[in-house]
Homo-oligomer: A and B are copies of this chain.
Amino acid sequence: MNFEGRDILTTENLSKNDILEIMKVTEKMEDVFKKEHFSTLLSDKMVAVVFLEPSTRTRLSFETAVQRLGAKTITIADPKSSSTQKGESLADTAKTIEGYVDCIVIRQPLKGGAKIVADAVDIPVINGGDGAGQHPTQALLDLYTIKKEKGKLDNLKVAMVGDLKFGRTVHSLSYALAPFNPEYIYCAPDQLQIPHNIIDDIKKLSIPYSKTSDINDALKADILYMTRIQKERFEDPTEYEKLKGSFILTRELVKKGKEGIAIMHPLPRVNEIAVEVDDLPNAAYFRQAHNGVYLRMALLAMVMGRA
């Protein structure tokens, strides 16, 4: 399918072929980044990177991607410096910025906010995360990382560990990987297990899965996708203290895991992966963060009709 002019708001309406095409372009972009450092592919384009919610990683990753392709950028990095403070609607902000640039990247806290922006303007919009909603570039860079680490997307056993209830990334990953014949291991304390509606969808898709609260079960996977357990999620703080140790990945645990197991994490990490793990070849999470630049270069080029 042709991506020119298209919005990237969610991964749900991407076909298997769409995803494979995005992966292919991302590979090319990794090459551009590593060999030529910069390209002139978008040198006649300008992109607004509008972040109405704090985020270093995603914002800087997009700004890097924009500039590596030769495009210019204008940025809102701080919601407090914005007119939305004065009560302006998201749609009005978007319609104004539409006259300045060729593409809008939007991150804001309202679920569905990216769609509001996309509906308001005629230029392509990329969702950089809309609160409890979607974060499609994260899901796609996760797929790209899996492909790079394991050499393929098909037939992989993927364990997701930590806060599976509120963790947006594991929800998206569960759907995004679905076309590739995966098997899922959901590893979490009972209070933070994967929501029923996602299990229902997984069942409908005939994806084999298991639930566990023992991290040793998760170590049998090809991919170990760690997420942060936030203290604030527990009503009883002593409950948190009791549990958190059971979901911390150590070097010792990795050694017990399946050979070549790839450890991923959407970052920021707090303490759920011990720093001693960083030096292992299995530790893929910083490579994962870096892959975000190539993936975003790909999407920017594609929606502006240059890839």
Residues from chain B with Cβ under 8 Å of A286 in the complex? 95-96, 98-99
Contact B74 A46 (CB under 8 A): no
Kindly list 16 other residue pairs between chains A and B, CB separation below 8 angstroms, not including A92-B269, A98-B286, A98-B290. A37-B45, A37-B46, A46-B68, A48-B60, A51-B81, A55-B81, A56-B81, A76-B77, A78-B78, A86-B268, A87-B268, A88-B269, A88-B270, A91-B275, A99-B289, A100-B290
- Chain B residues with CB under 8 A of A290: 96, 98-100
Which are the 9 A-B pairs with shortest beta-carbon distances?
A: A99-B290, A88-B268, A64-B100, A56-B83, A67-B72, A83-B268, A96-B289, A56-B82, A54-B81
Smallest CB separation, A57 vs chain B (Å): 6
Decide if A85 is an interface residue (CB 8 Å cutoff).
yes
Question: How long is the Cα–Cα vector from A289 to B121 in the complex, in angstroms?
Answer: 14
Copies in the complex: 3
Question: Which residue of chain B has the shortest Cβ distance to A79 in the bound complex?
Answer: B81
| Residues in A lying within 8 Å of B, measured CB to CB | 37-38, 43-46, 48, 51, 54-57, 59-61, 63-64, 67-68, 72, 74, 76-78, 80-88, 91-93, 95-101, 267-270, 275, 278, 286-287, 289-290, 293
How far, in Å, is A128 (CB) from chain B's closest CB? 13
Is the beta-carbon distance between B87 and A60 smaller than 8 angstroms?
no
Q: Could you name 27 residue pairs across A and B whose Cβ atoms are closer than 8 Å?
A: A37-B45, A38-B43, A38-B44, A46-B64, A46-B68, A51-B81, A54-B81, A54-B83, A56-B81, A56-B84, A56-B96, A59-B81, A60-B76, A60-B100, A64-B74, A64-B101, A77-B78, A78-B78, A88-B270, A92-B269, A95-B286, A96-B267, A96-B286, A98-B286, A98-B290, A99-B286, A99-B287
Complex Cα–Cα for A74 and B92 (A): 26
**Known: A100-B64, A101-B64, A268-B92. Is A85-B48 also a contact (CB below 8 A)?**
no
Also in contact, A60 and B269, with CB within 8 A (given A54-B81, A68-B46, A77-B81): no
* A258 vs B64: C-alpha distance when bound (angstroms): 50
Which residues of B sit under 8 angstroms from A88, Cβ to Cβ? 267-270
A271 to chain B, nearest CB (A): 9
